[in-house]
C-alpha cells in the first residue's frame, strides 16, 4: 500500500496499560469462574458434613441400643447370696423360691424378693406383773430364723417385716404369761427355768408362722425401788443369820474336837495299861527289892517260922540333934 492509501494517523495512540472496553467483561467472567469454583467446593463440603452428622447419629443410636440391651441383660440376672432365699414373683404372685446362686428371670414380668434364713436377733423391752404383784421390767433377746422350707408361706402371710408383725408381740405375750407364774424372788432365783419355759412357749406360738426359735435370753430384771430395798434388807438378815449359824457350827466343831481329843487321850492310857506285860511287872518287883537292899544294914532278917524272911530295918527313935 502506498503512503497515499495508508490511513493517516490522527496523531493519538492508546497507552499500552489502558484497558480496552472489552477488558471489564473479561474480568467479570473470571470472577464468575472463581465463584463457581467456590460454589463447587461448598457443594463438596455439604455432603461431607451430612455424612459426619449421619455417622454421629448412628453411633449414638448404637450406644443407646447397646445400653438398653445391657440393662435388659442385667435385669434378667439375679444373684441370691448365701444364707438367703429368693422369692420369685410373676405379676405379683409367688411362683417359685430360689436357692443360693445365679438365676435368670424375665425382665418387667418377674421380680425377686430376698429373705434372710440365717439366725437373727430380736431385742425387746417387756413389762409384766409377777405372782406377788410386783412390777417387773426386763430386756429379752430372741434368736430365731425363718424355716427355709416355708419361705413362700412366710412371704405370703407376713411379707418381709415379720419381726414387728409376729415376733415382738409374741415375745411380749410370752413374757407376761410366764412371769405371772412366779414371785419376784423366784424370778431371780429360778431365772434359768423361767427362760426355758418362755422359749418353749415362744416356739409353740411362732412355729405355725414358719419361724423357728433358736434361743431366748433374759438380759436383766428391773424391780421397783421398794422391792429392791426389801430384798437388800432380807439379804442382810440372811447374811447375819448365816454368819451366826456358821459361828455355832464352828463352836460345835471345836467342842467336838476337844471331846475327840479327850477320848483319844483316854484311849491312849487304856492302851498303855493293856500293854503292861509280866516282864514289866517282874522288873518293877526287882526295882522294889533293889531299893530294899540299898536300905539293908547288914543284919540278917528275922525268921518267924514262915518261909519268907523279913528284913528288920531299925528305926532311929532318938532325936538326931542329940
pLDDT tens sequence across 14-55: 555 544 544 545 555 555 656 666 655 555 555 566 667 777
pTM of the complete model: 0.55
Considering only 61-65, 98-102, 173-177, which range has the smallest mean pLDDT?
61-65
Place of cell 408381740: 169
Residue 5's pLDDT is: 45
Question: How do the residues of the chain divide into helix, strand and coil, expressed in percent and rounded to 5?
Answer: 55, 20, 25
Residue 3's pLDDT is: 47
Long-range (24+ apart) CB contacts under 8 A made by 187-192 are: 187/130, 187/136, 187/221, 188/221, 191/218, 191/221
Question: How high is the mean pLDDT of the chain?
Answer: 79
Q: What are the extents of the domains in the chain?
A: 28-116, 117-223
The CA angle 309-313-314, to the nearest 5 degrees, is 135
pLDDT greater than 60 at residue 142 = yes
Q: Which of 230, 234, 197, 229 is nearest to 216 (CA)?
A: 197
pLDDT tens sequence across 98-111: 999 999 998 888 99
DSSP state of 302: B
Region at 216 (left for phi over 0; alpha for psi -120 to 50; beta for the rest): beta
When pLDDT is averaged across residues 201-211 and rounded to a whole number, the result is: 96
Considering only 64-68, 188-192, 200-204, 314-318, which range has the smallest mean pLDDT?
314-318
Q: 312: number of CA atoms within 13 Å, CB side?
A: 8
Q: Which of 31-35, 283-287, 317-321 has the highest mean pLDDT?
A: 283-287
Residue 97's pLDDT is: 95
Q: Which residue has the higher pLDDT, 216 or 310?
A: 216
Name the pLDDT band for 69 (thresholds 50, 70, 90).
Answer: confident
| Distance, CA of 201 to CA of 197 (rounded, Å) | 6
Considering only 102-116, 175-189, 223-237, 276-290, which range has the smallest mean pLDDT?
276-290
Q: 313: number of CA atoms within 13 Å, CB side?
A: 6
pLDDT greater than 70 at residue 10 = no
Contacting residues for 242 by C-beta, under 8 A, at least 6 apart: none
- Residue 93, all three cell numbers: 404372685
Residue 82's pLDDT is: 94
Residue 37's pLDDT is: 61
What is the chain's alpha carbon radius of gyration, rounded to the nearest angstrom? 65
Residue 301's pLDDT is: 59
When pLDDT is averaged across residues 149-161 and rounded to a whole number, the result is: 94
Is residue 88 within 8 A of residue 112, CB to CB? The reply is yes
Starting at the edge strand found earlier in the chain, the sheet holding 211-222 runs 120-129, 135-146, 211-222
Place of cell 451430612: 50
- What is the percent of the chain with per-residue pLDDT over 70, rounded to a whole number? 73
Is residue 138 within 8 A of residue 222, CB to CB? The reply is yes
pLDDT greater than 70 at residue 213 = yes
Domain at 117-223, CATH homologous superfamily: Band 7 domain (3.30.479.30)
Residue 261's pLDDT is: 85
| Distance, CA of 144 to CA of 211 (rounded, Å) | 7
Distance of CA 74 to the CA centre of its chain: 36
Residue 317's pLDDT is: 46
Name the pLDDT band for 320 (thresholds 50, 70, 90).
Answer: very low
Considering only 124-128, 207-211, 224-228, 253-257, which range has the smallest mean pLDDT?
224-228
When pLDDT is averaged across residues 202-208 and rounded to a whole number, the result is: 96
Is residue 209 within 8 A of residue 159, CB to CB? The reply is no
| Distance, CA of 30 to CA of 18 (rounded, Å) | 19
Name the pLDDT band for 300 (thresholds 50, 70, 90).
Answer: low
DSSP state of 10: -
Residue 194's pLDDT is: 94
Amino acid at each position: 500500500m502506498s503512503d497515499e492509501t495508508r490511513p493517516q494517523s490522527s496523531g493519538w495512540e492508546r497507552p499500552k496499560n489502558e484497558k480496552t472496553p472489552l477488558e471489564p467483561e473479561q474480568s467479570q467472567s473470571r470472577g464468575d469462574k472463581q465463584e463457581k469454583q467456590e460454589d463447587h467446593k461448598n457443594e463438596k463440603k455439604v455432603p461431607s458434613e451430612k455424612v459426619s452428622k449421619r455417622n454421629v447419629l448412628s453411633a449414638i443410636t448404637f450406644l443407646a441400643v447397646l445400653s438398653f440391651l445391657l440393662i435388659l441383660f442385667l435385669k434378667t440376672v439375679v444373684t441370691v447370696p448365701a444364707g438367703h432365699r429368693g422369692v420369685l414373683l410373676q405379676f405379683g404372685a409367688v411362683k417359685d423360691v430360689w436357692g443360693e446362686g445365679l438365676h435368670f428371670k424375665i425382665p418387667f414380668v418377674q421380680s425377686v424378693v430376698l429373705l434372710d434364713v440365717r439366725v437373727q436377733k430380736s431385742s425387746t423391752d417387756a413389762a409384766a406383773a409377777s405372782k406377788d404383784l410386783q412390777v417387773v421390767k426386763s430386756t429379752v433377746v430372741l434368736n430365731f430364723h425363718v424355716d427355709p422350707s416355708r419361705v413362700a408361706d412366710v412371704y405370703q402371710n407376713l411379707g418381709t417385716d415379720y419381726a414387728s408383725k409376729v415376733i415382738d408381740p409374741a415375745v411380749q405375750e410370752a413374757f407376761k404369761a410366764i412371769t405371772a407364774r412366779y414371785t419376784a424372788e423366784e424370778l431371780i432365783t429360778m431365772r434359768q427355768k423361767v427362760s426355758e419355759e418362755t422359749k418353749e412357749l415362744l416356739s409353740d406360738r411362732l412355729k405355725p408362722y414358719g419361724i423357728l426359735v433358736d434361743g431366748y435370753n433374759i438380759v436383766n430384771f428391773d424391780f421397783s425401788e421398794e422391792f429392791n430395798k426389801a430384798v437388800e434388807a432380807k439379804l442382810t438378815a440372811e447374811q447375819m443369820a448365816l454368819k451366826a449359824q456358821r459361828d455355832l457350827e464352828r463352836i460345835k466343831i471345836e467342842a467336838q474336837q476337844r471331846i475327840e481329843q479327850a477320848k483319844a487321850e483316854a484311849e491312849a492310857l487304856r492302851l498303855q495299861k493293856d500293854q503292861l506285860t509280866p516282864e514289866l511287872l517282874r522288873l518293877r518287883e526287882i526295882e522294889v527289892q533293889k531299893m530294899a537292899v540299898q536300905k539293908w544294914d547288914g543284919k540278917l532278917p528275922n525268921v518267924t517260922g514262915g518261909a519268907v524272911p523279913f528284913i528288920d530295918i531299925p528305926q532311929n527313935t532318938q532325936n538326931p540333934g542329940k
